[in-house]
Amino acid sequence: MSKIQKLSDLEPQIPFSEFDFYKRYQQSFYASELGKLFRAIPFSSLADSLGLKDSRKGRNSYFSAEGKLALMFLKSYSGLSDSALIENLNGNIHYQYFCGVRINPQSPLTNFKIVSAIRCEIASALDIDGLQEVLASYWKPYMKNLHIHMTDATCYESYIRYPTDIKLLWESIAWLYPNMCFLYKSMGLRKPRTKYDKQEKRYQIYSKKRRRGIVETRVLRRSLLHLLNKLVVLTKDVIKQGSKQLKLNPSFYKRYSVICRVLTEQQEIFEGKKVTDRIVSIDKSYIHPIVRGKETKRVEFGAKVNTIQIDGINFIEHLSFSAFHEGNRLPQCITKHQKLFRKKVSLLAADALYATNANRKFCSERKIITSFVRKGRPGKEEAHRKIMRSVLSKERSTRLEGSFGTEKQHYGLQKVKARTEATEILWIFFGIHTANAVRMIEKMRKVEIRNTA
């Protein structure tokens, strides 16, 4: 038996299936929560929407198109690292059924990087709107109260160290200096004199201090800016001299351009100028500060997601790594809701940030009752409206905001550990919809009981 086989290819070859103990494992799988989660996700439709297909050329893939998607859902569901996920997949028969594979225990999978490869493959073809339409159409028969709309925004933070100007400048210098030395050595040129060693000692002394004065910080920032500017100029000169001789990777030019932008932004900040969407990490240059104004966390670094919720199920309306005002996106939220479920919205729950005059007018024209505090004199049915607003506000604060905490605590979104923008978006998508699929288990169970009664 080979290392791994797809169940779809294996099952027709098994003789005497009534005596096969593997069938009992299959029955126990479908009775478990993982099996119920498997039935709550339309893997074939999702694979078709993404255009994932088994390649006819070259070596056969370990996982089918549906199995690759299942592996991503399983990672969000289990909360395991890539290496731990493969280790558990080798020994857990239910995990293998979930991913549609059967692994030989004598020759288990050892390359955990296959998870990262699959993640990158799916991320390159990810279409959030198309996949959400597939999920909404599959879940719609099991949902109710489709006329009630809730919306709010949250930030799914990236796994990066807390950025400061000193750290960012030093990280840029620490990467650029050895690369510059390598370029001069490759060209047979003498390495130019810099004060790198001196600044390295100053930074180490500064970073070990528990208290750092304002003047000391400003002096070190000026010195690091001067050194980084010198390194950028020297690197630019040697690249220009060896344009025909040097063969550099595109990744080098990408990182070098990011560092040049960091230098420009930090010089403007040092001079007291305001910089919007500034870089906070040279590894993840797409991440920008997002001011949330919370008591415990005024600024967050990651993806800001405007979410709509229908009957406890969350859908992504807008995702961006730059700050945006979610209150201006209420019309898009209503449009997204009605496109997904083909149902007119009549009740809306949102916080005070959405209660702009434009949004009030938009809802009034469409006869949508909102949770916004009424402006002006009370109407004839004010008592009834007040009760309705209270119920909608309470439902939004408990169900919608509570779902954000559930996704972050239990589905890998507390700190997103992806390394690129595309895979980070993928990570967030699967985290949100894995949580949705778990919620759908109970909804589907109730419908099945009602149908059999």
CA distance 144 to 146: 5
271-279: average pLDDT: 91
pLDDT in tens, 355-380: 999 999 999 999 998 888 888 776 66
* pLDDT for res 315: 97
262-287: average pLDDT: 93
Phi/psi for 81 (5° steps) reads: -70, 170
233-242: average pLDDT: 89
pLDDT in tens, 98-114: 999 888 888 888 889 99
DSSP per residue over 199-248, as a string?
A: HHHHHHHHHH-SS--HHHHHHHHHHHHHHHHHHHHHHHHHHHHTTTT---
Over 90: is that where the pLDDT of 452 sits? no
Q: What percent of the chain lies above the pLDDT cut of 90?
A: 68
The whole model's pTM is what?
0.90
* pLDDT for res 393: 85
Over 60: is that where the pLDDT of 125 sits? yes
Over 80: is that where the pLDDT of 130 sits? yes
Over 60: is that where the pLDDT of 206 sits? yes
Could you give the 3-state DSSP secondary structure of residue 303?
Answer: strand
* pLDDT for res 1: 44
DSSP per residue over 121-183, as a string?
A: HHHHT--HHHHHHHHHHHHGGG---TTEEEEEEEEEEBS-PPP-HHHHHHHHHHHHHHHHHHH
Average pLDDT in the chain: 89
192-201: average pLDDT: 92
Phi/psi for 265 (5° steps) reads: -65, -45
Q: What percent of the chain lies above the pLDDT cut of 70?
A: 92
Q: Which of these, 319, 322, 341, 318, lies nearest to 331 by C-alpha position?
A: 318
CA distance 166 to 171: 9
* pLDDT for res 114: 93
Q: How confident is residue 245, by pLDDT bands cut at 50, 70 and 90?
A: confident
Tokens at residue 164, please?
Answer: 């400061």
- Tokens 């919007």 map to which residue? 276
DSSP per residue over 74-119, as a string?
A: HHHHH---HHHHHHHHHH-HHHHHHHTEEE-TTS----THHHHHHH
Over 70: is that where the pLDDT of 20 sits? no
The H helix count followed by the E strand count for the chain is 18, 8
